[in-house]
Amino acid sequence: MAELPIWQFDSLFLIVVLLFGITSLAMQNLMSAAIVFGAYSFLMCLIWTAMGAVDVAFTEAAVGAGVSTVFIVATIHNCGVTAKPMNSRIGFKLFAGAIAVGTGAFLLSALPDFPAWGDPQSPVNSTVAPYYIENTIRDAHVPNIVTTVLADYRGFDTLLETAVVFIACIAIYSILRVDSAKSTVDEPDVVTSPPAYDPTDSLIIRQASRIMVPFMQIFALYVIAHGHYSPGGGFQGGVILGASVILLCISFDLKFVLRQWTEKRIMILTALGVLIYASVGVACLFMDGNYLDYGVLDSILPGDKSYARYYGILLV
């Protein structure tokens, strides 16, 4: 049997992904839509893998098919499984449709300015990308080119992305936190919290989560620590680590998790991650180098400049 060329596999994947997207929009049962969204994310993993972007596929599997599906299912548990039709006025629907079409047309108008699909002579493929491919091992002794690009060549950009995630974490806590001290003002409660999740004392769910969570967290730490050698890194490993905590919240309850991980402890660890990243850059400045120029740390780290860059990537 003759093998299909790779572009036919891509076309098949894209057609199925498009069908899943349309099907999820047409479904009235939200649980079924969540399942279709999960399948959609897994197919996107296959597409990214076929394109050679294994790190992106790993991220899609962890975020799209994993954590996002868990969040959707948790939301459905509190809101119901059936979508209620909205009686919007025809004018509002036309206005929303016009905004969507106009935005799409504006984005499509920029397509002629893009290089041809897969053009090896495009500015990115002919200048920056070859340097990364040819010099990653020499510069940093890191086999995973993606990790070197994110943590070294464009480390300043990644630091700012880490700061954005930290700020988002603070914002979420500010919105959702529950103060332990009661207000002294006698005012009626205006905002009511969603009903607490009842695990129904399922022995199977609780014991299964007790067995799974340690292995998930060990694997997450492996993905974080070994991301410079294989696909993965801090982002994917952090998502898996967060998913293990979410699994505990679903299997037991939020109070059980907060007894193990208090709000103060979580915020300290979150801030510590950004502080370590920024401190490595400051240390480079004290060594008469540029910010996040790990090579100048060779005077305090073992090995030459290339190994100093390796250790710097490992730290951040």
The full set of domains in the chain, from first to last, is: 1-82 (1.20.120.1200)
Contact between residue 247 and residue 216 where contact means Cβ atoms under 8 Å apart: yes
Name the pTM for this structure: 0.70
3-state SS record for 211-251: HHHHHHHHHHHHHHHCCCCCCCCHHHHHHHHHHHHHHHHHH
Please state, in angstroms and rounded to a whole number, the distance separating the CA atoms of residues 237 and 219: 8
Residue from 184, 145, 180 nearest 263 by CA: 180
pLDDT tens profile 31-54: 888 888 888 888 888 888 877 788
Work out the average pLDDT over 67-92. Answer: 74
What share of residues in the chain are helix, strand, coil (percent, to 5)?
70, 0, 25
Q: Which amino acid is at 85?
A: P
Please state, in angstroms and rounded to a whole number, the distance separating the CA atoms of residues 258 and 57: 32
Work out the average pLDDT over 71-93. Answer: 73
Query: Is the pLDDT at 106 greater than 90, yes or no?
Result: yes
Average model confidence (pLDDT) across the chain: 79
- For residue 85, the model assigns a pLDDT of 66
Contact between residue 199 and residue 252 where contact means Cβ atoms under 8 Å apart: yes
pLDDT tens profile 208-266: 888 888 998 899 888 888 887 788 888 888 888 888 888 888 777 777 777 777 778 88
Q: CB neighbours (10 Å) of residue 55? A: 21
Contact between residue 48 and residue 10 where contact means Cβ atoms under 8 Å apart: no
- For residue 46, the model assigns a pLDDT of 84
DSSP conformational letter for 304: -
Q: Which percentage of the chain shows pLDDT scores above 90?
A: 5
- For residue 188, the model assigns a pLDDT of 46
- For residue 181, the model assigns a pLDDT of 45
Among 88-97, 196-205, 243-252, which stretch is predicted with the lowest mean pLDDT? 196-205
